[in-house]
Structure 1
Amino acid sequence: FENRIQNLDWMTPETKEKAIEKLNKMTVKIAYPDKWKDYSELEIKSVEEGGSYFENLNHVSEWNFKDDLNKLGKPVDKSEWLMAPQIVNAYFMPPYNEIVFPAAILQPPFYNYQADEAVNYGGIGAVIGHEISHCFDDSGSRYDADGNLNNWWTEEDLEQFTALGKELSAQYSNVNALPDVKLNGDFTLGENIGDLGGVNAAYDGLQLYLAENGRPENIDGFTPEQRFFMSWATVWRTKYTEDALRNQIKTDTHSPGMYRAVMPLQNIDAFYEAFNIQETDNMYLAPEKRVKIW
């Protein structure tokens, strides 16, 4: 990721230096916390015990509320995790400048220790890149290397970044997910920046790996580069009911999975080279319309 920052043609050296400082100060948490929460006062009952999903959910909400109240007036505990290890997800925490990967995401389709490197780079590698990219998205970029809400951008660079964000936002906002519903590129911009930056960074990582370790054989006729992009798309395989899709577009800052699978790739030159994409292909996007941010 540092190499990508150094090679940006729209960012000045002054801001690049600050960005790299932030990158180098980022901390990483993987799998599970060193200190576990005490859930002994959380009451969960099975159906056989007279409980219900609704009641259990209320008990969880009540427990979380009391846990938050208990933190008032105390120093911030930066060792705390905001997700349990059993959650298939990952996150970037701007005030802590940290990325966190619970244990549950370290399994297929994101990561498979038996899969070849290209598949894992396209899966968990791109997810790691996605979370790092949140450090520099439209929200995370407002925080400095120490997690303070502090502008570290030159005015010129911030204008360039904002303009590129608007271009990416327009791509998504032009998509009809349903006949009467378009995606909201402004609402999902941070996640879309994360996807685009993450895939780019992971692809560079794969190329570095191949340069150091040599190219493996094709698998089922597919090159490492093709397997990389296919792995990314596989991660976001999705089926929606129409109502669920409408709800996600209105409430979720992530684009629906089928668009996460393909739209970042349309902006990446290496994807066109890997699959020999031509102007007549549905995924083709003219070079001048491809957005490159990180």
Structure 2
Amino acid sequence: MLVRRLVLVPLLLSAACDRPGGTQAPATSAPVVTPAPAPAPVQRESLVARDPIGAEVLASLDTTVDPCTDFYRYACGGWLKKTTRPADKSRYGRGFGELADRNNAVLRGILEAAAAGKGKQGPVESKLGAFWLACNDEEAQDRAGITPLVPVLSQITAVKDEASLYRVVGKLQGSFFAGGGPLFSLFIEPDAKRPDVYVAQLAQGGTGLPDRDFYLKTDARSRALLVAYQEHVARMLGFLGETPTSALEQAAKIVAFETELANIALPRAELRDPDKTYHMLGVVGLQGLDPATPWPGYFSALGYEKIGPDLNVATPTYFTQLGAIVRKTDAATLQAYLRWHVLRAAAPHLGKAIVEADFTFTSALTGAKELSPRWERCVGVANSGLGELVGQAFVKERFAGTSKETALTMIGHIERAFEAGLPSLAWMDPTTRTRAVEKIKAVINKIGYPEEWRDYSKLKLSRKDHLANVIAARRFQFVRDADRISKAVDKREWHMPPAIVNAYYNPSVNEMVFPAGILQPPYFSAEFPMAMNFGGIGMVMGHELTHGFDDQGRKFDGKGVLREWWEPSASTKFNERAQCVETLYDGIEALPGVKLNGKLTLGENIADFGGIKAAYAGYKDWQKDKREAPLVQGLSNDQLFFLGFAQGWCTLSTDESRRLLAMIDSHSPPRERVNVPLAHFPGFWDAWQCSPGTPMHAGENACEVW
């Protein structure tokens, strides 16, 4: 499977299907390690900034905290005290908050100008303007009510049995849901063992809650949340004209059906292993999992009945058992289930009453108290569905000058430093090391934006119907992908919009991708000292590079092929070191009584450990023939490097979001992303003069993989 590694996964609750390989707490989290009694804080000289950049660094500090006790609080305490989390955000940080706000403001200006007819109005501006006008026309959406859904809902009445269900699901997934939606998900990605060819990927899914465990856990909080979800389903069905009694009865049956789907789904952490999610069975092999399942009708209705052998079934055990669940469920329940999933997918794009009712349950899950402003929600949908349309103007405004060249220079230093560090790894044999070097040298780096913009000429958008535009954008992307099944992979393609605050590593292409949206302060700036740049975006670069060698990425060779290229002894020793990291995070609490999942977060944690080490080594490599005056009197450049890293993760979060993300997020919370890797990194100990026995010095208990 194509495995994408993101710096931070946005909290999306509209789609809960588990996608193999893919898809935060403040300082109140549990300590990183259980320390011995801490010695008296090291006396540090007073800090004086020499320019506004240095002043901003100092303003984020809490100098009453010893950096060797809690570096996250030392680096971020000032920001945490002076910042108020917006009521519409369950998490808000310097990077994935303030920076996202600045980017969104730029995108808003671009979209408003297009809608107003300002400047040159070509096809791009025309589409953006139409989208913006329709999305912001709340009165039109209120007048329409559920009318835009009527053609979709009318198809569901055809469900009478299993065969008709699969035909309807195929038709809906090929149009309205665009691959996701009820029962399971279908998407298109490169074949993990033939990464030059696109294949269809079929995976478990079909539930409305974010994870299977929401249905299966039996503690009081989980059971109460499941009851609240059932009440939410009933309330939403009322918008479709159901009486309160009928809505309650249908909701109970829908939740019971989804619980059965959750029972046969694999745990999220198990989906991380690309070997376990690779089953190139083809349509014939899929049919063999349960001969009674009417797959031909599904693929025919989907519009892709000729997929043939180019189908990977990520979760075969799910599809072996799915048919029996469907066959014992009455048609009325199946219809209600489909109607619910149509409504929940459309709800954020309908009238105000439906949007607010939908948000009520989102609030219970995340702790956000208000809806984001309409303009901000419209910007988000535009950036998601029309990313390379709106991104063209964004990069002109926010990614000019020498930014790309500087970023590429930094990556070069980090890659060379990572390679130079391999001989010091006693656990890696010479043969595996040589192959690892070959993989490093083959990495493709994409910076800022695509070399060739995506062609949206076939996408038709309305100036009056927002939901129609959302469906059209989904359908456009799905058809674009599905039409490429069995065809050559386009290795120039980007899988993130240019304006997003994020980055990823793609093992099937062996590439790292850094959109223009994250190549901004606080992670990167041409005005920053390079110590800050290497600590900020440099750590992101090292993080993504390490993903090529984490517990998943290491299974793909330099050409993107899923195969065993390690010597057995190296694999064994790697797993021993990875287990150290997994065990370490298993013992950390996101909230009292809510522990992190060391297995689920293992790849991201390994990437954090390796990322800070590679970025620091890359900075020292850059520093060999260059000198920078200290930005702040009283801070060395090495210390500034670590502040540049930590201050990008200053974050405020609700308890609800911390609890939710501990279950579903493959990333650790921000405080742990800072403190844990640094507590295990000798370079940090030296820079901040941390003594053994302090919380930020793990000493002989330190974990190291790369």
TM-score by length of 1: 0.92
1:132 and 1:189 map into 2 onto residues whose CA distance is: 15
Aligned AA (1:110)? Y
**CA 59–170 in structure 1, closer or farther in 2 if over 3 Å, else same:** farther
3-state SS, counterpart of residue 157 of structure 1: helix
- 2:488 paired with 1:68: no
Shift of 1:169: 1.0
Deviation digits for residues 133-191 of structure 1, max 9, x if unmatched? Answer: 01101001001111111111111110110010000111111111111100111101111
Shift of 1:112: 1.1
Matching residue within 627, 632, 645 for 1:232: 645
Show the counterpart of 1:244: 657
2:423 and 2:462 map into 1 onto residues whose CA distance is: 54
Aligned AA (1:62)? R
* Residues 234 and 261, structure 1, Cα contact 8 Å, conserved in 2: no
Matching residue within 543, 547, 558 for 1:134: 547
Show the counterpart of 2:624: 211
1:50 and 1:144 map into 2 onto residues whose CA distance is: 46
Shift of 1:74: 2.0
* Residues 529 and 631, structure 2, Cα contact 8 Å, conserved in 1: no
- 2:702 paired with 1:290: yes
Show the counterpart of 2:565: 152
Aligned residues: 289
Show the counterpart of 2:678: 265
3-state SS, counterpart of residue 239 of structure 1: strand
Aligned AA (1:12)? D
Matching residue within 548, 568, 586 for 1:173: 586
Matching residue within 443, 456, 459 for 1:26: 443
**CA 256–58 in structure 1, closer or farther in 2 if over 3 Å, else same:** farther
* Residues 685 and 696, structure 2, Cα contact 8 Å, conserved in 1: no
- 2:492 paired with 1:51: no
Show the counterpart of 2:537: 124
* Residues 33 and 81, structure 1, Cα contact 8 Å, conserved in 2: yes
Aligned AA (2:657)? A
3-state SS, counterpart of residue 20 of structure 1: helix
2:547 and 2:583 map into 1 onto residues whose CA distance is: 19
Show the counterpart of 1:101: 514
1:239 and 1:71 map into 2 onto residues whose CA distance is: 42
3-state SS, counterpart of residue 263 of structure 1: helix
**CA 182–44 in structure 1, closer or farther in 2 if over 3 Å, else same:** farther
Show the counterpart of 2:422: 5
Structure 1 runs not aligned, ≥5 long: none
3-state SS, counterpart of residue 29 of structure 1: strand
3-state SS, counterpart of residue 109 of structure 1: coil
3-state SS, counterpart of residue 445 of structure 2: strand
2:483 and 2:582 map into 1 onto residues whose CA distance is: 40
Shift of 1:213: 1.3
Shift of 1:219: 1.3
3-state SS, counterpart of residue 495 of structure 2: coil
3-state SS, counterpart of residue 447 of structure 2: strand
2:437 and 2:676 map into 1 onto residues whose CA distance is: 27
3-state SS, counterpart of residue 213 of structure 1: coil
* Residues 111 and 120, structure 1, Cα contact 8 Å, conserved in 2: yes
3-state SS, counterpart of residue 100 of structure 1: strand
* Residues 188 and 253, structure 1, Cα contact 8 Å, conserved in 2: yes
Structure with more relative contact order (C-alpha pairs < 8 Å, separation 6 or more):
2
* Residues 586 and 595, structure 2, Cα contact 8 Å, conserved in 1: yes
* Residues 94 and 147, structure 1, Cα contact 8 Å, conserved in 2: yes
Shift of 1:43: 5.8
| Bigger Rg over Cα | 2
Deviation digits for residues 234-278 of structure 1, max 9, x if unmatched? Answer: 111111111111111211111112211211111101111111113
* Residues 680 and 697, structure 2, Cα contact 8 Å, conserved in 1: no
* Residues 191 and 255, structure 1, Cα contact 8 Å, conserved in 2: yes
* Residues 529 and 628, structure 2, Cα contact 8 Å, conserved in 1: no
* Residues 237 and 261, structure 1, Cα contact 8 Å, conserved in 2: no
2:578 and 2:461 map into 1 onto residues whose CA distance is: 45
Structure 2 runs not aligned, ≥5 long: 1-417
**CA 288–97 in structure 1, closer or farther in 2 if over 3 Å, else same:** same
Deviation digits for residues 188-237 of structure 1, max 9, x if unmatched? Answer: 11111111111101111111222211353361411111111111111111
- 2:493 paired with 1:80: yes
Aligned AA (2:703)? V
**CA 231–45 in structure 1, closer or farther in 2 if over 3 Å, else same:** farther
